[in-house]
Chain A
Amino acid sequence: MFKKAIDNLSFRFTMFKYKMSDRDTAGKYIRRLITKFILTVIKYVLIASIAFVFLYPFLYMIVTAMKSPADLSDPTVSWVPTYICSDNFVQASVALSYSRTVVNSLVVTAISTVGHLFAASLAGYGLTRYKFKLSGVLLVVLVLTIIVPPQLTAIPSYIVYAKLQLLKGWLPIILPTFFGAGLKGGIYVFIFRQFYMGVPTELEEAAKVDGCGPFSTFTRIILPMSKAPFLVNIVLSIVWHWTDTYESVLYIKDTSMQMVIARLPKLYDTLVNADKAETDAEITAANIYTEGVVMAATTLVVLPVLVIYFFLQNQFTQGVERSGIVG
């Protein structure tokens, strides 16, 4: 009788999907329900708290960017600013020369991404489809290019560029990408390689029978089906090039050609100096910005990437699953 009642009830709680089996007693069933319920609660709490850890800096950044200087020094105002202070954003965009540097960043990022995709797809395809004695060695070399930090090669690379007269403008950043050697360039080759290893050869054989040479096989058959690794690499390349503070600062000395993130460290330094500055006169003399302005600047820097990611995110996660990065 009890069992029947619970059976009827379990139809209502379909989201639990825990129907009573024949071997279950009523007590066991209820115990199982409660255990599952507690575990689900724990799961949600855990995930929510970790998501909070990830979101906290974002929220802090956005909220602080909206605080006026009065709010910043007011200890009672912590999470809700009294009004949205747009002056922070104005000052930030002036300090960053936003309109110019954003365009610079966009151009550099776009061209670098194209370069990476071009070189990495060719190299990844070559690595998988052609077996010769050196292909194992080349794989090791590829992994080495990933492991070696750019700081190791940076100064000698600078010398190479100087000798080749390539130090003009954005060229030191853009040119290596077309040769598979740019910022974290080996990873793109690796991703393409993993993907192409999972592609069966029948299609290419059919194309060869139909008379395709190798290169047109590549362009007509392989490239259209490689949407997944392309997407993954595009997102990764955009993110890494946009937020790169090393190469962009190293090679570009001309302030008119700087990328948007290059100015950010200086802004943060002024903030540190503000803690050390004693009088108001020192503050205004050194052109020190408030924390609100610095956070507004950070928001402005990160915003385009966030927008792009927001639009591409669904396809990006699907792309990671389909690109077979994971064996």
Chain B
Amino acid sequence: MSDNIFENGNTVDSEMKDSADVSKDTATPELSGESSEVSAETAAVEVAGTSDPAAGEAAVAPRETAAEPVKSEGAPDAGEKKADAPKKSSSGTKKTSSGSKNSSGKKKSSSGKKKSSPGSKSASGKPSSSSKGKTTGKKKKKKVTFQRSRAEIRSQTRKTLEACAFMLPWFIGLLVFFAYPILNSLRLSFSQITKIVGWEMDFVGISNYTTIFKDSTFTSVFTSAMWQIVVYVPSIVILSMILAVLLNTKMVLRGAFRSIFFLPVLLGTGYIVQQLLGQQIDESAAAAGYEAFTSNMDRGITLPQELIVFIPDQFVSVIEAVFSEITQILWRSGVQILIFLSGLQSIPTSVYESARVDGATEWEMYWKITIPSLAPVTVLTIIYTIVDTATSDSNSMISLITTNSGESTNMALAAAMSWSYLFVVLAFVGVVLFFTRKQHSTVEQ
């Protein structure tokens, strides 16, 4: 589905070239698919002479991937797949210049890799893989091969150039606005600012890190932020899944409700929401336990006065704290509800109908159909929620970093804080990705 489209144009070319290449090498008779593969491999090793593991893999790859043209993109979490992926993408269905992608322009190595194509060709049933057909075309196509392979190489570089042209703005932005500041910040976290005007730094090792971890404010805010991630993320994901399923059913005013549920995103997860819900970030209060918020009782959702009279005092504060937490959780699940809704709508209704015919109840259908279909969406949502919770403006950790980076004496400390925080967030995301490898490979198509 996501093959390199500009490779497909070369199908015709390389087919002719393949036959020409094979005909050139008289040492290996072409019989059936398997033996041609074996011979292809040995021939590749002999002819190519370069210790290119890709050649051997290319010979093996077409066999496996003839049935899986879809999984063509290298998954980022498997380094070894990266070398396979470029080959799989093309040799899966279009047995084209899989080898030429990695070819260094040497004619011999490219012809060696082309040997893999006969294997896939016979797999797709082309008649020209028989030896007899090739030997007849041998003499005519010899010279054509040479020109075509150079054209292949030229088109290969041209393709790469096109790719670079498309991604150029993003590359530049990445380098200038992301990579350089990040590395600079890393350097900053290991040093101390000596002169403010010129931003000069003095390398001091890990003293910044030891300083912040000894500071009680930082550790309390740090643990509260961790606690926040651990508690909020599952609640948000589960709650938004339930709400999305509810919203997906037929009901009156469904469109209106969907718009209402997206309102939190409009107001932004930052400042306005914080104020409207009556929460204030107070760092000194953060030192007192993991509750990093103090709620302003005048605003925000509280129990009506009449009810409070009936409930004993300790319960009131607990209940109100629970209410405020629930409000926070609900308020941060706007985007997630939307994502789940779209995921739900991509499940075909025919599945539900056939299940109903088979006699499944609604509850069973929910567990057996809806939730498994939502698996990749759930992974995406979990990652997004972790990122959103960790980096939203109302996070106590973020505000601590912000205030500290405002004072010039503390900038290195702020950098050290951000890096340790980032490390933990990355660890969370890595753990989630690790445990959901099976699902998220479809997301990362």
User: Which residues of A line the B interface, CB within 8 A?
Assistant: 43-44, 46-47, 50-51, 53-58, 60-61, 118-120, 122-123, 125-133, 135-141, 143, 145-157, 159-160, 176, 178-181, 185, 189, 197-198, 200-201, 204-205, 208-209, 214-215, 218, 239-240, 242-246, 261, 264-265, 268, 272, 298, 301-302, 305-306, 309, 313-314, 317, 320-321, 325-327
Contact = CB atoms under 8 A, between A and B. Distances in A.
B440 to A, nearest CB: 9
Contacts of B173: 119, 176, 178-181, 185
Contacts of B142: none
A157 B175 CA distance: 12
Q: What bracket does the count of chain B residues touching chain A fall in?
A: 35 or more
B119 interface: no
Given A56-B301, A57-B276, A148-B182, A201 B380 contact: no
12 contacts: A47-B251, A57-B277, A60-B276, A123-B167, A127-B167, A129-B166, A136-B74, A155-B414, A160-B181, A181-B176, A215-B162, A326-B380
B246 interface: yes
Contact of B5 (A43, A181, A204, A240): A204
Given A43-B246, A159-B184, A180-B170, A246 B402 contact: yes
Interface stretch (B15-23, B55-63, B256-264): B256-264
A218 B76 CA distance: 26
Contacts of A51: 257, 260-261
Contact of B89 (A47, A126, A131): A131
B166 A123 contact: yes
A152 B73 CA distance: 31
A155 B405 contact: yes
A151 B405 contact: yes
A141 B174 contact: yes
A156 B178 CA distance: 10
B162 A317 contact: no
Interface in B141-181: 159-160, 162-163, 165-170, 172-174, 176-178, 180-181
A179 B2 contact: no
A179 B257 contact: no
A243 B268 contact: yes
A145 B249 CA distance: 36
A264 B393 CA distance: 15
* Chain A at the B interface: SS class: helix
Interface in B43-78: 72-76
A180 B174 contact: yes
Interface string B280-298: 1000000000000000000
Interface centre among A47, A138, A140, A149 (most CB of B within 10 A): A149
B270 interface: yes
A180 B169 contact: yes
Contacts of B76: 136-137, 139-140, 143
A214 B266 contact: no
A122 B166 contact: yes
B135 interface: no
A133 B86 CA distance: 7
Contacts of B277: 57
A44 B251 contact: yes
Given A119-B170, A128-B2, A151-B402, A208 B185 contact: no
B339 A268 contact: no
Contacts of A148: 178, 182, 422
B3 interface: yes
A317 B86 contact: no
B422 A246 contact: no
Contacts of B393: 245-246
B174 A131 contact: no
Contact of B185 (A53, A152, A214): A152
